Structure 1
Amino acid sequence: MRGIAGAPRHGIRPDRSRDPWAVREAAGVVAAPGADAAAVRAGVVPPASASRAAAAHAARARRARPARRRVLDRPRRHGGDRPAACRARRGGRATRPRLRSLLRAGSGSLGHLATWPENRLWVSADGSTGIAYRLVGEVVVTVSDPFGATGDPEAAFGEFLAFCDARAWTPVFYSVHEGWRAVLAARGWRSLPVAEETTLDPAAFTLSGRAMQDVRTAVNRARRTDVVTVDASWTALAGPLRRQIVAISEHWAADKRLPEMGFTLGGLDEIDDPDVQVVVAVDAQERVVAVTSWLPVWESGALVGRTLDMMRRAPDAPNGAMEFTIAESIEAHRSAGLRRTSLSATPLARPAEQAGVAVLGAVLALVGRLLEPVYGFRSLLRFKSKFGDAAEALHLVYRDPMQLPAIGAAIARCYLPQLTWGSSLRLLRG
């Protein structure tokens, strides 16, 4: 879990707290007795003397821990003026040049999620196609569509499925677009909709018309009060702006029962990326009133679009601050000649009765209800519809209905990684 350089780390996860080796992120990675000497010298694991400090740390953590802990951990905290570069420690495979090269060849609207921590990368034998995934138990949950210069999607899928089958893993493709769903459907796979993505053409975007009245009012109000937008990468933003954004995000997280997701919705951790555009609305007193982040969409090496990710507003922000920030971002995309603006996928917003699969639909509905007070997926879907109604369904694609209980538990843990397997199975039983 990423944090600010020099800030204290989180405590031990509930399901690993009795394992002194599991405190490696809190007290430094420790070498197990008999660890390979070459690995120690290479720095893969530090000397075994670190184990005593780790064990002591674990003992102190157990004594300090309350008798009963919630299954869901507390929100992530940040301090200082920017996220620290801790990603390599937990998700180093996500920052490799090979991944960035594949994304630039063709990322799709959600491909940049592959760079986020906890995601693994599979690459086809010919190096043309990448698939990002998370391994939860024996279930492989892919993160949206394959990416790269995929000339033969059927061959890429066949190779990836052979990769999973050789390891006795159960693959499930999550939040894939219609084109990729159709390729798997031709193999006899089944699917159900799990999210909706709102997209628009920046060149055709306009504030005129009755449907845009709320957005137009918000833009006019902001301009009358001298609110402007600033866009840059995270590191290029001025220090005072970064510190205010961190404070806003901290305030947002403080009242939440759940941590930032980091699965299909990013947060402060994910904006420290040179390819991510941060758009900040600032008032006449140079106070940040709202902030958004935009992921890149690549095609044949060219930036062709942006996808909305993080949205945060100051507690005292005027009404319409977020509408203004998004509208100004779309205008900037048009000025940059981008062809596509995606307001991203809104997951878990469909009612369970539309899912069509009783077991999995019930699990996704229950996870959605748990997350709704924090993320407001259904209200978020309504909010995005203010900017256009071109919504495309994203699908979950699976091979065998007998695998649905395991798939449901795995997806629940992707959204709520602090859940134990037992808690995930209890979700299945309702």
Structure 2
Amino acid sequence: MSDESFAVNEDRSSRFVRLFLTYRLYLLAAASLLVFALVALGLYRLTAEVRYEDVLAALSATAWSAIAMAMLFTGLSFLALIFYDANALDHIGRRLPFPAVAVTAFMAYAVGNTVGFGPLSGGAIRFRAYSRLGLAPGEIARVIAFVTLSFGFGLLAVSALATLAVAPRVAGILGIESFWLRILSVFVLAALAAVFYAGRKGHAINLKGFSLRLPDSRTTSRQFLVSAFDIAAAASVLYVLLPDTHVGWPTFLAVYAVAIGFGVLSHVPAGLGVFEAVIMAGLSNAIGIDQLLGSLVLYRLIYYVLPLLLATGLLLITEMRQLAMRPGVAEAAQLAGRLAPALISTLSLLLGAMLIFSSVVPTPGSDLDFISNYLPLPIVEGAHFLSSLIGLLLVVAARGLGQRLDGAWWVALIGACVAFAFAFLKAIALFEAALLALFILTLLANRRAFDRHSSLLRQALGPSWLAAIAVILVTAFVILLFVYRDTDYAHELWWQFEFSEEAPRGLRALLGLAIAASVIALLSLLRPAHYRTQGPTEAEREQAVAVTMGQDMADANLVRMGDKRLLFSPSGKSYIMYGIHGRSWIALADPVGREEEFAELVWQFVGAARAGGGRAAFYQISPVLLSACADVGLRAFKLGELALVDLARFEMKGSGFANLRQSYNRGLRDGLTLSIVLPDGVHAILSDLRTVSGDWLAHHNTKEKTFSLGAFEDAYVLSQPVAVVRLAGRIVAFATLMVTDTKAEATVDLMRFSPEAPKGTMDFLFASILEYLRGEGYRQFNLGMAPLSGMARREAAPVWDRLGGTLFEHGERFYNFKGLRAFKAKFHPRWEPRYLAVSNGTSAALALMDVTFLIGGGVKGVISK
């Protein structure tokens, strides 16, 4: 194969990989939906001999004592789940108030268990909550990793031990020889024991340059007990709901653990259908399918829905100011209020699904007989049909509620009120009406949380939300087929309107839902057509410069380049500057202007990026912006550290500044002099500066960069002061200064020097600039960022940090990471972390690629330097 053919194949491969990464969410959503559809088909066939009436009979036959026991075990399971987070925080060496940890963990599991997909997952809630409590992004990632891995290892250990104890019984249920089950269980337990032994003293495992510190024996033992207790309690919730059976609890525990594992691996929201399929396949020989179905329905209501309703009730209680002011409760109440949008969004999704499902199941005959005496048939039919559409509306509004949109709040409130009335018109649905009433009260009590003025109609649904809607509709379709299994289909069913005819009513409701959902999906898929916003007008750039000069961030002067797009706050007193490459909308640094407007600007930018079919990213942001990014569901990945010099304390005395002082004095002996040329005087030396810049570019065989760096453009250079170094009257080096009127911070952008400049000229230039700025009353100097600096490779650091730390240590052939940090370290700065905030790790990699193209001026610019 020729080199040219190899290059073509490599280019095609990279394009295929990039295409897959770009649309991976849609592909994963489609795969999850396909898995769910196949499972749903299997469940329908598995229940071929079961009738809807049998399931209702099984539900009514469940004793209240069993339901009470199931509630007790649910409480015990969630108590154990809270200690997952407590142990994780103890493992990373952080202590937080237990009430705040309990609220966070409880809400994270109540939401995560119910919906189980990205936008509302427990991980997103932890990022929002723990970032508010002062944890760094890396620490939050370690908490999530600890919780996830401990649950996975605990599930493996419990299922292996249970299977080993009752292998013959489990073998008979699953149709596998007990010998192989025992072998597999022993293998799993041996592997877990090896991991336990390796980390018995908190030892680190070193693998290809990475170091992973395992929990010590005490932490591991404690977490295993917590995990075992949690899984045992959760399994007991379903076990006590089952009818009398000869299946022992250890046997059931093994089957339950396998079902939970498959549900998690399927990535179907809440493992819906997958969990039920495994349980039914494992226990159908011992328990009647109709009884199993009834128990599974109750299990879902008690273990999944009940905690969500309890969390909603707690949210209402925390709004009572007198209670919230009590010591120890105030912080937890405040945190619960901040998590309210995610919780209310989940409840909206749940109630929407409930309304949809209720539209395809028959109304009890006694209720219909009662309604027929007071209401005409058209009102009942209309209420039934419209109630299903309101359910879809609540599902769609759930996304807007999660984003704190005031429009979504109004849609959800009005929809819930109408559905509340319809609950009595279509049937005497007291339970449905009670849940809707709770939802309405929660919306009213948390009105202040939904303060973002944005249109719900402009919010396109992403792949996860479309997949969730599809799962709900497929479930409704399967329920319809199951309920009316004995009803022969005929075209006449569609236009039969009678009180006693339930199947036609369900068919019409499902058809209306399918049409409405298809329209919503098409609009969501077509609306995010990739588009680019326009660059700033001259008036907008002048407005941004005026805002810049009145605040403290010197780097904001990069807006003078005019190469970045601008997004202003409604007041016009703050803005975000950003660039677009591919599907990445990349905001540069923190917003500029009023800090109280930053959170809303973050929401505005993320919404604009999504509406334009892009992915939002925030590049080189400070810790100040992390909580606002967490609120919109973005994760933070460390990029490096910013060097900040306190000018009030800067003085080239003492042994710490010996090397810098020597370079400065050598420059003076060599005849170097520094002068600061103000903007009105730069024009006179512009041609000399251009010559130095051109020589510097040619010497380094590079081209001008943009986006996060300035380029030598006349208008840009003329707009700022310039520090000039002369040798024998000739300019040999210069640096453009970026300052603001507040004098809180100063920094440099363009730094160019002639090849003839003496050695140590840059040290002399920086030392002289710092001395000048200190004399002018500036408070700090921004030396810029050291990429990958401060990235942890020790203990249980996140993979991103360990990879960055390794590249920092061994990546000198690609970039002078260590040399750049060493140069900045001469000035003894304060190091402050800087982050990239995106939705996930894959998006982080893609965003960094697009940042590289933006800085380099596109693909050609990067390739040609």
In the superposition, the TM-score normalised over structure 2's length comes to 0.35
Confirm or deny: 8 A CA contact 1:305 1:333 kept in the other structure. Answer: no
Question: What is the CA–CA distance in structure 2 between the aligned matches of 1:350 and 1:258, rounded to whole Å?
Answer: 28
For residues 243-300 of structure 1, give each alpha carbon's deviation from its aligned partner in whole angstroms, at most 9, with x where no partner exists: 33222211111144431222323342378345522111112x20223212221245xx
Q: Displacement of 1:361 after TM fit? A: 6.2
Question: What is the CA–CA distance in structure 2 between the aligned matches of 1:95 and 1:128, rounded to whole Å?
Answer: 12
Query: CA RMSD, aligned part only?
Result: 3.5
What is the aligned partner in structure 1 of residue 698 from structure 2? 254
For residues 312-354 of structure 1, give each alpha carbon's deviation from its aligned partner in whole angstroms, at most 9, with x where no partner exists: 2221222222111111111111111111111122346677979
Q: Displacement of 1:207 after TM fit? A: 0.5
What is the aligned partner in structure 1 of residue 836 from structure 2? 396
For residues 35-92 of structure 1, give each alpha carbon's deviation from its aligned partner in whole angstroms, at most 9, with x where no partner exists: xxxxxxxxxxxxxxxxxxxxxxxxxxxxxxxxxxxxxxxxxxxxxxxxxxxxxx9875
Once the two structures are superposed, the pairs formed by residues 200-219 of structure 1 within 5 Å of their partners are 200-219=645-664
What is the aligned partner in structure 2 of residue 146 from structure 1? 591
What is the aligned partner in structure 2 of residue 311 from structure 1? 751
What is the aligned partner in structure 1 of residue 565 from structure 2? 120
For residues 395-415 of structure 1, give each alpha carbon's deviation from its aligned partner in whole angstroms, at most 9, with x where no partner exists: 101123453453243123123
1:416 aligns with 2:856: yes
Confirm or deny: 8 A CA contact 1:94 1:117 kept in the other structure. Answer: no
Change (3 A) 1:237 1:404: closer
Confirm or deny: 8 A CA contact 1:229 1:325 kept in the other structure. Answer: yes
Confirm or deny: 8 A CA contact 1:234 1:272 kept in the other structure. Answer: no
What is the aligned partner in structure 1 of residue 725 from structure 2? 281
Q: Displacement of 1:238 after TM fit? A: 6.9
Among 177, 197, 207, the alignment partner of 2:622 is 177
1:98 maps to amino acid: Q
Q: Displacement of 1:365 after TM fit? A: 6.2
Once the two structures are superposed, the pairs formed by residues 263-302 of structure 1 within 5 Å of their partners are 263-269=707-713, 272-273=716-717, 275-283=719-727, 285-298=728-741, 302=742
Contiguous gaps of at least 5 residues in structure 1: 1-88, 424-430
Change (3 A) 1:111 1:358: same
What is the aligned partner in structure 2 of residue 190 from structure 1? 635
Confirm or deny: 8 A CA contact 1:93 1:121 kept in the other structure. Answer: no
Once the two structures are superposed, the pairs formed by residues 75-114 of structure 1 within 5 Å of their partners are 96-114=541-559
SS state at 1:316 partner: coil
SS state at 2:682 partner: coil
Contiguous gaps of at least 5 residues in structure 2: 1-533
SS state at 1:147 partner: coil
What is the aligned partner in structure 2 of residue 221 from structure 1? 666
What is the aligned partner in structure 1 of residue 766 from structure 2? 326
Among 337, 340, 352, the alignment partner of 2:780 is 340
Confirm or deny: 8 A CA contact 1:94 1:115 kept in the other structure. Answer: no
Change (3 A) 1:408 1:343: closer
What is the aligned partner in structure 1 of residue 613 from structure 2? 168
Q: Displacement of 1:229 after TM fit? A: 0.8
Question: What is the CA–CA distance in structure 1 between the aligned matches of 2:738 and 2:856, rounded to whole Å?
Answer: 23
Change (3 A) 1:403 1:223: closer
Question: What is the CA–CA distance in structure 2 between the aligned matches of 1:352 and 1:94, rounded to whole Å?
Answer: 44
2:843 maps to amino acid: Q
Change (3 A) 1:193 1:405: closer
Question: What is the CA–CA distance in structure 2 between the aligned matches of 1:392 and 1:243, rounded to whole Å?
Answer: 37
Once the two structures are superposed, the pairs formed by residues 331-410 of structure 1 within 5 Å of their partners are 331-347=771-787, 356=798, 372=814, 376-410=816-850
- How many pairs were matched up? 326
Question: What is the CA–CA distance in structure 2 between the aligned matches of 1:129 and 1:119, rounded to whole Å?
Answer: 15
SS state at 2:572 partner: coil
SS state at 1:195 partner: strand
SS state at 1:213 partner: helix
Question: What is the CA–CA distance in structure 2 between the aligned matches of 1:405 and 1:222, rounded to whole Å?
Answer: 43
1:243 aligns with 2:683: no
Q: Displacement of 1:116 after TM fit? A: 2.0
Change (3 A) 1:372 1:286: farther
Question: What is the CA–CA distance in structure 2 between the aligned matches of 1:357 and 1:398, rounded to whole Å?
Answer: 16
1:269 maps to amino acid: E
**% identical aligned pairs:** 21
Question: What is the CA–CA distance in structure 1 between the aligned matches of 2:607 and 2:788, rounded to whole Å?
Answer: 30
What is the aligned partner in structure 2 of residue 9 from structure 1? none
2:739 maps to amino acid: P
Question: What is the CA–CA distance in structure 2 between the aligned matches of 1:304 and 1:273, rounded to whole Å?
Answer: 22
Change (3 A) 1:312 1:124: same
Confirm or deny: 8 A CA contact 1:360 1:404 kept in the other structure. Answer: no
Question: What is the CA–CA distance in structure 1 between the aligned matches of 2:683 and 2:748, rounded to whole Å?
Answer: 22
Q: Which has the larger radius of gyration?
A: 2
Change (3 A) 1:310 1:421: closer
Confirm or deny: 8 A CA contact 1:348 1:377 kept in the other structure. Answer: yes
For residues 182-228 of structure 1, give each alpha carbon's deviation from its aligned partner in whole angstroms, at most 9, with x where no partner exists: 32134442111213221112221111111211111122223334422
1:279 maps to amino acid: A
Question: What is the CA–CA distance in structure 2 between the aligned matches of 1:280 and 1:402, rounded to whole Å?
Answer: 44
Change (3 A) 1:238 1:102: closer
Confirm or deny: 8 A CA contact 2:620 2:836 kept in the other structure. Answer: yes
Larger relative helix fraction: 2
Confirm or deny: 8 A CA contact 1:233 1:275 kept in the other structure. Answer: no
Larger relative strand fraction: 1
SS state at 2:749 partner: strand
Greater RCO (CA < 8 Å, at least 6 residues apart): 1
SS state at 1:265 partner: coil
What is the aligned partner in structure 2 of residue 84 from structure 1? none
What is the aligned partner in structure 2 of residue 74 from structure 1? none
Q: Displacement of 1:388 after TM fit? A: 1.3
Confirm or deny: 8 A CA contact 2:578 2:588 kept in the other structure. Answer: yes
Change (3 A) 1:265 1:297: same
SS state at 1:237 partner: helix
Change (3 A) 1:409 1:231: same
Question: What is the CA–CA distance in structure 2 between the aligned matches of 1:108 and 1:211, rounded to whole Å?
Answer: 28
2:709 maps to amino acid: L
Q: Displacement of 1:377 after TM fit? A: 4.7
Change (3 A) 1:270 1:307: farther
Change (3 A) 1:205 1:402: closer
1:195 maps to amino acid: G
1:335 maps to amino acid: G
Question: What is the CA–CA distance in structure 2 between the aligned matches of 1:246 and 1:349, rounded to whole Å?
Answer: 33
Confirm or deny: 8 A CA contact 2:576 2:601 kept in the other structure. Answer: no
